Chains A and B, each alone.
Chain A
């Protein structure tokens, strides 16, 4: 009788050990993934809170150049470094691509740092006069302006 009890106890003990091992691995992995996600989200939120931009100047030019264009000067008045590639420009709710941009007259840089101004030159159709402008930054902070 003694062998049966200790033998089955040993079997159950080994099973419990294996079970705990599997459960612990799964729990620890999930916990770590969720913790990482929370940290990343907290970082993004902090960045969003620290981002602020303001429109310094908007001009609409119907000048003799082949196409009309809108010139926008936006200043990074927050404390985060923004990416020029992540900036979105909407004119009358139409997403614009292929516009020219310069940060402090530097057209090669991809960085838009605090207290620097970003100049955008957006070509618009000659048939309609643009009325509204929206500039959106990478973290999602945006400004709107009436042209």
Chain B
């Protein structure tokens, strides 16, 4: 009779251990999934909140500096509700389809982060040696794509 209770006890302990490990793996996986979901939610909400406008006057011939340093100067206004950083890392720039790697971002007046209604100046050193004719610049910030076309 004692051998029956001993084996019952062993089976009970084994089943509890298995159930506990299953429960542990289960809660751990759900914890990771919830963390990822929260981060994704934050990312999507900041993508939705981000809205910028390129306010440079494309009709003027002052966007591309033909005679000077050959830079393209863009003025970009934050019209969304997301506060952005004044940092080249927040944006990706394509000039005539080519990825621009050298550009500087600065606030036109004041300092600090780039809040709603404020304007930054972006000085782009184009990846092409020289630009002629129609130029298309695309700026992508948090998934918001803005295009400016002008004549060089």
Q: Mark B33-45, 1 if CB is under 8 A from A, else 0.
A: 1110110111011
Q: How far is the CA of A144 from the CA of B58 in the complex (A)?
A: 10
A interface residues, tally (CB under 8 Å): 51
**Of B48, B80, B119, the contact of A34 (CB 8 Å cutoff):** B48
Contacts A4-B15, A26-B38, A86-B117: A93 and B60 contacting too (C-beta < 8 A)? Answer: yes
- The answer on a CB contact under 8 Å between B51 and A41 is yes
**Nearest CB on A from B6, distance (A):** 14
**Of B26, B35, B81, the contact of A44 (CB 8 Å cutoff):** B81
- The answer on a CB contact under 8 Å between A38 and B117 is no
- The answer on a CB contact under 8 Å between A34 and B45 is yes
Interface membership of B90, Cβ < 8 A: no
A residues less than 8 Å from B77 (CB atoms): 88, 136, 140
**Of A8, A19, A41, A94, the contact of B19 (CB 8 Å cutoff):** A8
Interface membership of B151, Cβ < 8 A: no
**Nearest CB on A from B126, distance (A):** 17
Interface membership of A63, Cβ < 8 A: no
Interface membership of B55, Cβ < 8 A: yes
- The answer on a CB contact under 8 Å between B23 and A14 is yes
Interface membership of B56, Cβ < 8 A: yes
Contacts A8-B19, A85-B117: A144 and B79 contacting too (C-beta < 8 A)? Answer: no
B residues less than 8 Å from A23 (CB atoms): 30, 33-34, 37
Which residues of A in the span 117-147 have a Cβ within 8 Å of any Cβ on B? 131-132, 134, 136, 138-140, 142, 144
**Of B34, B45, B60, B63, the contact of A25 (CB 8 Å cutoff):** B34
- The answer on a CB contact under 8 Å between B41 and A31 is yes
Q: How far is the CA of A3 from the CA of B5 in the complex (A)?
A: 12
Q: How far is the CA of A92 from the CA of B62 in the complex (A)?
A: 7
Interface membership of B71, Cβ < 8 A: no
- The answer on a CB contact under 8 Å between B20 and A11 is yes
- The answer on a CB contact under 8 Å between A97 and B45 is no
- The answer on a CB contact under 8 Å between A38 and B40 is no
Q: Which 7 A-B pairs have the closest CB atoms?
A: A30-B41, A15-B23, A8-B19, A26-B34, A19-B30, A37-B45, A93-B62
